[in-house]
Amino acid sequence: MTINNSSALCIEQLSYAYSGKKALDQVSFSIQPGECTLLLGPNGAGKSTLFSLITRLYDSREGQISLCGYDIKRQTRLALAKLGVVFQQSTLDMDLTVMQNLLYHTALHGIARKVALPRIQQELERLNMFERRFEKIRQLNGGHRRRVEIARALLHKPALLLLDEPTVGLDVPSRLAIVDYVHQLATEENLAVLWASHLIDEIFPDDHLVVLHKGCVKAKGTVTEVLAATDSTSIKDAFYNLTQGEAT
Amino acid sequence: MNCLHYWRAMSGIIGRELWRFITQRERFISALVRPLIWLFVFAAGFRAALGLAITPPYETYILYEVYITPGLIGMIQLFNGMQSSLSMVYDREMGSMRILMVCPLPRWFLLLSKLLAGTFVSILQVYVFLGIAWFYDIHAPWQGYLWVLPTLMLSGLMLGALGLLLSSFIKQLENFAGVMNFVIFPMFFMSTALYPLWKMKESSALLATLAEYNPFSQAVELIRFALYGQFNQQAFFYTLGAFMVFMAAAIVGYNPSKGMMSKKGGG
């Protein structure tokens, strides 16, 4: 099996099972720098399992995952250094301030304080959160917490940003703001993005799609390619056809 | 990846844990109330019932309160170790453990840092407890307060590693009640924390044997001797060995391909 060095993420023939029950079956796809890929699938499709494997929280015996050419199993630390993650559940410490949470993250990535502080300022300013840096996370609403998590995921300058359903539970304006911002990051920062979602209105026309259903990749490619392959006129129809009516 | 990276990460983990402990006033107070109740209520009531012979490291007759002080120090560290393990299960369920696990450092190092952080917190608790006990007329030689520091590091690491190991087995927070019943209580009561080994032998040889091989007993004895400026070699090596075994097993437990993490389900 060869590893594609130019890909930010390359997944080949990946399978995973929980107690004999297959959660992922021969999954393969890759993401290039500057590409925003939406991982679509209904609940239970295997999206979170795939994320746990990419982040090395789980280990797979079948298949291969590489980040920027680094094998996640054999070169774990080099691979993880290239990765920024926003998990589905909030992973911020509620009792610490925004600044303390971000400084903790930079410490884990070995970033010196004098380098960390201007980076934190830059990321928070881009998300209009700098003024709130000394507030405890508990005092922020869901949308603002998500912004802090996105800012945190970018502090160590990753090549690939993973977002596991980051807009769940947010109101429409907060959701749109995050969708716009992440797409802007992919374009302007040449950042590769893998965004797991089951909400099809989060897709932009230039996005790439991977449709996952019951652990299998049902379709992949640009929006146009997926529409053509499924003979559909809208992503909603294509998703409906591929998942046999389990769209949300 | 260089030494500075390791140093910054470890400082970050320890600093976060200490900050959380200091700012969570209820946790601080409840950590102290438990051993103090044992000292002020249980020990005072039990004093008359238990006669103590002169045994090392004590060179004279002592009050029961003096005898159980090292045991209560062990109790603070035991509960703190289990509390850390509980918070790790909680963090894992709530997700914040993931941020730690996906940072680009070896997992054993992250676990060790977390363990050190918990140990520092427990040492802080112990010294505050010793300070209050001093006002209650429980005095150790002044150098004992210094000698006890490295032993508290080792005993704290050993009990923390046990907690870490248990947390790798516990799938849900609800299962943690079992740890209280099956680990903390047997470990504490089947030890030399509350009564000396010779006293236990009088009533049950089996109980005395179990207490003798209980790593918690050895940690308590290590602390007891250190508090009086003496080094208990057997207790030291036993505690060190137990720490290494628990830590190695915890690292395997947290390995995504080998341990319990591989058997856990996910979303």
Q: For B50-87, write each residue's pLDDT tens digit.
A: 666 667 777 777 778 888 899 999 999 998 888 877 77
| CA distance, residue B113 to nearest chain A CA (Å) | 11
| A·B CB contacts under 8 A | 105
B122 burial (CB, 10 Å; 0-12 / 13-18 / 19+) is buried
The answer to whether residue B206 neighbours chain A at the CB level (below 8 Å) is no
Measured in angstroms, the CA of B130 and the nearest CA of chain A are apart by 29
Distance CA A68, CA A3 (A): 9
Q: What is the pLDDT of residue B256?
A: 67
B176: helix, coil or strand? helix
Model confidence band, residue A81 (pLDDT cutoffs 50, 70, 90): very high
Region A205-228 average pLDDT? 90
Does B20 lie at the interface with A, CB-CB under 8 angstroms? yes
Phi, psi dihedrals of residue A65, rounded to the nearest 5°: -125, 130
Mean pLDDT for the stretch of residues A213-242 = 87
Task: State chain B's mean pLDDT as an integer.
Answer: 84
Strands A192-197 and A36-40: parallel
Question: In this prediction, what percent of chain B has a pLDDT beyond 70?
Answer: 88
B145-183 residue pLDDT tens: 999 999 999 999 999 999 888 887 776 666 667 777 788
Are B219 and B74 in contact, with CB atoms under 8 Å apart? Answer: yes
* Per-residue confidence band for B49, with pLDDT thresholds at 50, 70 and 90: low
Share of chain A above pLDDT 70, in %: 96
Longest dimension (CA), chain A: 54
Per-residue pLDDT at A1 exceeds 50: no
Q: Between chains, do B9 and A110 touch, taking CB under 8 Å as contact?
A: yes
Is the confidence at residue B260, as pLDDT, over 50?
A: no
Tell whether B51 lies on the interface with A, counting CB pairs under 8 A.
no
Question: Considering only CB atoms, which chain B residues are within 8 Å of A64?
Answer: none
Give pLDDT, residue B257.
Answer: 60
pLDDT exceeds cutoff 50 at A248: no
Strand-pair partners of A216: A213
DSSP-assigned letter for residue B175:
G
Interface probe, candidates B7, B24, B103, chain A, greatest A C-beta count within 10 A? B103
What percent of chain B stands above pLDDT 90?
Answer: 34
Going by pLDDT thresholds of 50, 70 and 90, the confidence category of residue A4 is low
B173 vs A230, residue with greater confidence? A230
**What token pair was written down for A56?**
């090395």
Domain boundaries, chain A: 93-157
Strand order in the sheet with A192-197: A83-86, A160-164, A192-197, A36-40, A208-213, A216-222
Rounded Cα distance, B165 and B247, in Å: 7
Over 80: is that where the pLDDT of A26 sits?
Answer: yes
CA gap A65, A53 in Å, rounded? 8
Best probe of the B interface among A24, A55, A57, by most B CBs < 10 A, is: A57
Rg (CA), chain A: 18
- Per-residue pLDDT reduced to its tens digit, A155-184: 999 999 999 988 887 888 888 888 888 899
**Separate counts of helices (H) and strands (E) for chain A:** 8, 10
Contacts of B13 in chain A (CB under 8 A): 107-108
Q: If we measure between CA atoms, which residue out of A110, A103, A151 comes closest to residue A127?
A: A151
Taking only the tens place, the pLDDT of each residue in B78-133 is: 988 888 777 777 776 666 778 888 889 988 898 899 899 999 999 999 999 999 99
- Among all chains, which residue has been given the structure tokens 């590489």? A66
Distance from CA of B77 to the nearest CA of A (A): 24
Residue in chain B closest to A17 (alpha carbons) equals B265
Which of helix, strand or coil describes residue A150?
helix
Work out whether strand A160-164 and strand A192-197 pair parallel, antiparallel, or are unpaired: parallel
**Does residue A2 have a pLDDT over 50?**
no
Q: Percentage of chain A surpassing pLDDT 90?
A: 49
Contact B261 A110 (CB under 8 A): no
Give the per-residue pLDDT at A88: 83
Residue with tokens 């051993």: B35
B128: contact with A, CB 8 A cutoff: no
B47-54 LR contacts (CB < 8 Å, sep 24+): B50/B195, B50/B199, B52/B196, B52/B199, B53/B196, B53/B198
**pLDDT per residue over B198-237, tens digit each?**
777 788 888 888 888 999 999 999 999 999 988 999 999 9
Residue B155 burial (C-beta neighbours within 10 Å; 0-12, 13-18, 19+) = buried
pLDDT computed for residue A14 by the predictor = 93
Comparison of pLDDT for B127 and B40, the residue scoring more: B127
First to last CA, chain A: 36
Torsion angle in degrees (nearest 10) through CA of A197, A201, A207, A210: 40
Name residue, tokens 């997926």: A226
Q: Which amino acid is residue A102, in one-letter code?
A: L
Residue B75 contacts by C-beta under 8 Å, 6 or more apart in sequence?
B34, B35, B38, B188, B193
Asked if B26 has any chain A CB less than 8 Å from its own CB, the reply is no
For residue A30, give the H/E element and its range: strand A21-31
> Would the pLDDT of A6 be above 50?
yes
Find the DSSP H helices in chain B: 3-23, 25-37, 43-46, 64-94, 96-101, 107-135, 142-169, 176-179, 185-189, 197-203, 205-213, 215-227, 233-253
ipTM, interface predicted TM-score of the complex: 0.81
Residue B122 CA to its chain's centroid (Å): 7
